Structure 1
């Protein structure tokens, strides 16, 4: 039997897992991360980054977590609601290009023409499809279902309208696409942890993606929050938003 004592690769993995688990009990580390989360969100820190030339508007920590998940799961399809500049679509597509399979389906109620033009001209567009329309329109969801037919492994990312009702409906409609062992990642759950009134938008404390996740999980035990990812990242716009399908 191979043990970690004579297997340095496994020993490193175990050491890392133990360190990550310990962060759940590190009040000083969590307080420092929480302070950065609040101030950096206030100052739009996530708007400063690009991937392969396109603005990604995500925290590097979350994108590292997504890379780890995608490399491990190797999904045939990633469904993402919310496109914006298209940086995350291109990011996911580039990882699939490295893996050698898979495609990304992006959905947005308003794909602005200048963004569409840049996305369609990008080398990674060969692995991207886009649909314009409301993510919670049932006819659009039926089209998504048709495009998902035959896909063995599916991941979902929810990153459009961040109100409680909208995200809860997205979870009801899109979480069923997720295959066992894969993830539904709900972005911007950080809204619940920000000071009240921090956003000039319809969402706020008590009305946001995290409250939608909590409500959804009350009635659905197919998913569990992957707290290991929360402990590892500490700095994230998606705390308690990495939902693993367990059955």
Structure 2
């Protein structure tokens, strides 16, 4: 019979959006900073596998962990390229620089030449940039026409509303999403992903926008 006390054992279960937000800053992929909510970490690989894009446009490279994650999924699919865009050049792991599926753009999304994407036939766009209302609005306006039927424009980090931070971002992603959907009927929020783990149990609240027509 075991009588020895197990150190640090607890029957208590206690977590919140804020505790997940704190932890998500520490998420790594193959040792590279990724900064991803665990729910979305899982959702992305399912969504990419389903859509099978031949181009992923990512706004917001940061340290490159997400781009590297997407690249490994595309490796498994045997096809696809990533155009990852930022305006701040941060130190990158050499594996990101050398990966044949990843192309880095460092002059910001407003300077990205749409012609770079014209040769691709199935495009997925992910906005993980500044999260300000103005920037999200601009990226939606610029890139939405590139998204193919049944693919997605994913707007990240609408969770800032729940965290009480939306004022710091001029209203943030959700304000831009609402305005965009009012004038653009080609997209709708895909509840399959936003509510996969519970209603808006994602850091991309209302942000999985599927092109339906």
TM-score (norm 1): 0.75
Q: Could you list the per-position Cα deviations for residues 51-96 of structure 1 after superposition, in whole angstroms to 9, with x for gaps in the alignment?
A: 1221110012102111111101110000000001101000001100
- 2:159 equivalent to 1:190: yes
* 1:174 shift after superposition: 1.1
The CA RMSD measured in Å over matched residues stands at 2.1
Q: Could you list the per-position Cα deviations for residues 170-208 of structure 1 after superposition, in whole angstroms to 9, with x for gaps in the alignment?
A: 10001111111000110001112222xx48x9316xx10
* 1:36 shift after superposition: 1.8
Q: Secondary structure at the match of 2:161?
A: helix
Q: Which has the higher helix share?
A: 1
| Runs (5+) with no aligned partner, structure 1 | 1-31
What is the 5 A alignment of 1:98-247? 98-112=76-90, 114-115=91-92, 117=94, 119-121=96-98, 125-135=99-109, 137=110, 140-141=111-112, 143=113, 145-195=114-164, 198=165, 202-203=168-169, 207-234=171-198, 235-247=201-213
Q: Could you list the per-position Cα deviations for residues 193-236 of structure 1 after superposition, in whole angstroms to 9, with x for gaps in the alignment?
A: 222xx48x9316xx101111011111000100011212213332
Question: Does structure 2 retain, via aligned residues, the 8 Å contact 1:37–1:236?
Answer: no
Partner Cα separation in structure 1 for residue 144 and residue 89 of structure 2? 23
- 2:25 equivalent to 1:47: yes
Instruction: Tell me whether 226-235 or 149-158 shows the greater mean CA deviation.
Output: 226-235
Question: Does structure 2 retain, via aligned residues, the 8 Å contact 1:164–1:208?
Answer: yes
Q: Closer, same or farther in 2 for the Cα pair 1:240/1:182, shift >3 Å?
A: same
The match for 1:7 is none
* 1:155 shift after superposition: 0.1
* 1:134 shift after superposition: 2.3
| Runs (5+) with no aligned partner, structure 2 | 1-12
Q: How many aligned residue pairs are there?
A: 199
What is the 5 A alignment of 1:12-31? none
Question: Does structure 1 retain, via aligned residues, the 8 Å contact 2:25–2:36?
Answer: yes
Partner Cα separation in structure 2 for residue 119 and residue 180 of structure 1? 29
- 2:17 equivalent to 1:37: yes
Q: Which runs of 4+ in 1 moved over 6 A?
A: none
Q: Secondary structure at the match of 2:40?
A: helix
Q: Secondary structure at the match of 1:75?
A: coil
The match for 2:7 is none
